[in-house]
Amino acid sequence: MATEQELKKNNPLQKEFQNLLDKDFEDRKLKENQIIKATVTEIKKNFIVVDCKAKMEGMIPVEEFQHGDELSKLKVGSKIEVFLERIESGRGEIVISREKAKRLGAWNKVVKAFDNQEEIIGEVKTRIKGGYIFYAFDGSLPCFLPSSQLDTRPLKKVDHLFNTKIKVLPVRLDRSRGNCSVSRRAVLEKSKNAEISEALKNIKEGDIIKDAIVKATTDWGIFLDLNGIDALLHVSDLSHGRVKKPSDLVTIGQKIKVKVTKIDEKTNRVSASVKALTEDPFEKIEKKYKLGEIHEGIVTKIMDYGCFVKIEEGIEGLIHNSELDWTNKNIKPNKVLAVSQKIKFKIVNIEKETKRISLSYKALLENPWEKIKDKIGKEVKIKINNVTEKAIFGDLIDSGLSGMLHYKEISYNENIEELKKFKKNDVINVMISEINDDKIKFSKRALEADPLHYFKDNNKKVGDIITTRINEVLKTGVKVSIDKDKKLIVTIRKADLAKDAADARPEVFSPGNALDAKITELDLKSRRIKLSVKAAQIDEEKSLIAKFGEGATKSGATLKGIFEKAIGKKGKKEK
């Protein structure tokens, strides 16, 4: 007896139905990882059953239809898009997803909008660190909306933007990760720029606006409203003169008259000017003011490097530090002048192209340098303000001018140790020896008689033999004093102490001993003196030989024999 399966297998109708079904599946050509069309066949409590024209129907969880009111609008026969993950799973079921289909579709739309710079619509629902989550296309695709891109200006409250349809512009796309950043600010600026571009058609450069409204002030300029168009009035365009703060000239809400000076069509930025409405006072500056003229003005600003003075409306000049005081070129301006002080000055330079005028305040004061020139070579008093390694710096008591006293000008000994005798705030007498380029040189030793006058007073010259007295014994020689006051000290080198090397040892000499020496060098200008005992001995030897022993050196006679012979003869005559 044939089984039921054998009967079905041999049934020609059953066989024909199977062939038709296989052919139908072949015509459907389903491919995985693509969005396909599906028809809703049944709506259950937890699943939506759809027909994807596959071997069996697919089932989608109800949770994938929760965004918006999609579930409430869904009915049997509705056509929807689903994402086909697998045609047949391990259990023979088709795997599809409504949520992935919506996400992939939304992503494709975002990519297209980014490429074409088109706006997209969505809602802000969640706040995160650094910004917000923006859900595009009915919540299908979450995007990042930075806080800085929420509006054209910082917002204190943003609650009114939540769960509200807003337009944004895709500004950044990470195609590999599927991430997108959007900007509401870009949409607002785009819209605003369009409005500004339309409004800019009604004005042009050179137009004069009589009722420009002050919207805000800063240290560097003023923001204006020119009939609905924002404009900037820079601080340098407020006046031909110097403006300390724009807020000192205008108040918010005030209407002022300005001239449109520039319109940037690319950025839609408008620049305005107040000073362009009046003539530049520097155009005819050379007719109003001449170099060397004396005028009166008011100090408007004090800086570290000088003071600004208002000469007239729109014209200011600078008094540099060096033109404030004769005695101190680096004096602090606030110690001489004050803001709002009315002063007289002298014009020393005018630069029309750079709009700079240099003034001098000290030119109208008594110049102590003119008086001090008459005191060259005269005795003055100075107060020491500093003692350095090689010099003393002091101020003249009567004028305050500063000068220098080099250690070589303290005494004729030219000993650097002399500096240790002086300290700050000491008052000493000096002589002004030189003034050159506003630099004063003092000399203290010039107040005393020069010890070198000894040579002139006693008619001493090179070649003369003088009697000195040993002042100090050194390892390299001895120091001797030429004059009685011991102000003229000269060093005789070891090599010049005696003719014979054995007698030229410094240790055989003692302080206080008399010592005859020959002047071998004498330059009073350079103060160079050289003495030699050796040269004196040689001269004396030559003199004795010439007097008592002519030809003695040829016969072998010695200087001792000559001396004894001469002394002996002298002794006999005395007897």
DSSP string, 136-165: ETTTTEEEEEEGGGS-SS--S--GGGBTS-
Rounded to whole angstroms, what are the CA distances from 29 to 87, 366, 374? Answer: 11, 109, 118
Q: What number of residues does the chain have?
A: 575
DSSP helix, strand, coil percent of the chain (3-state; round to 5): 30, 35, 35
Query: Which pLDDT does position 308 carry in this prediction?
Result: 93
Distance of alpha carbon 186 from alpha carbon 119, whole angstroms? 10
Report strand pairing: 47-51 vs 179-183. Answer: unpaired
47 burial level (CB within 10 Å; 0-12, 13-18, 19+): middle
CA distances from 549 to 500, 541, 569, 574 (A): 21, 11, 13, 21
- Strand blocks (E) in 425-572: 427-436, 439-443, 465-473, 477-481, 489-493, 514-523, 528-532
Task: Using the structure block, give the residue that is written with the tokens 């520039």.
Answer: 262
Cα(first)–Cα(last) distance of the chain, in Å? 197
Angle, in degrees to the nearest 10, between helices 559-574 and 533-548:
60
Closest alpha carbon to 346 in 286, 309, 293, 285:
293
Edge to edge, the sheet with strand 465-473 lists: 489-493, 477-481, 465-473, 514-523, 528-532
d(CA 446, CA 442): 9
**SS3 of residue 485 by DSSP:** coil
Cα–Cα dist 323/346, whole Å: 10
For the stretch 437-466, pLDDT in tens is 778 999 998 888 878 888 888 888 888 888
What are the structural domains of the chain? Answer: 18-101 (2.40.50.140), 117-191 (2.40.50.140), 203-277 (2.40.50.140), 289-364 (2.40.50.140), 368-447 (2.40.50.140), 453-547 (2.40.50.140)
Nearest to 87 by CA among 24, 43, 34, 39: 34
Under 8 Å between Cβ of 360 and 345: yes
Tell the residue number behind the tokens 């409430």, with chain if given.
Answer: 72
Three-class SS state of 105: helix
Bridge-partner residues for 167, per DSSP? 121
Asked if 144 contacts 178 with a C-beta cutoff of 8 angstroms, the reply is: no
Classify strands 120-128 and 391-396 as parallel, antiparallel or unpaired: unpaired
Low-confidence ranges of the chain (pLDDT < 70): 1-30, 32-33, 55, 66-70, 88-90, 92, 195, 197-199, 548-575
Tokens of residue 545, six digits:
């030989």
Cα separation, 414 vs 403, in Å, equals 19
Supply the pLDDT for residue 28.
55
Strand partners, 210: none
The pTM of the full predicted model, rounded to 2 decimals, is 0.46
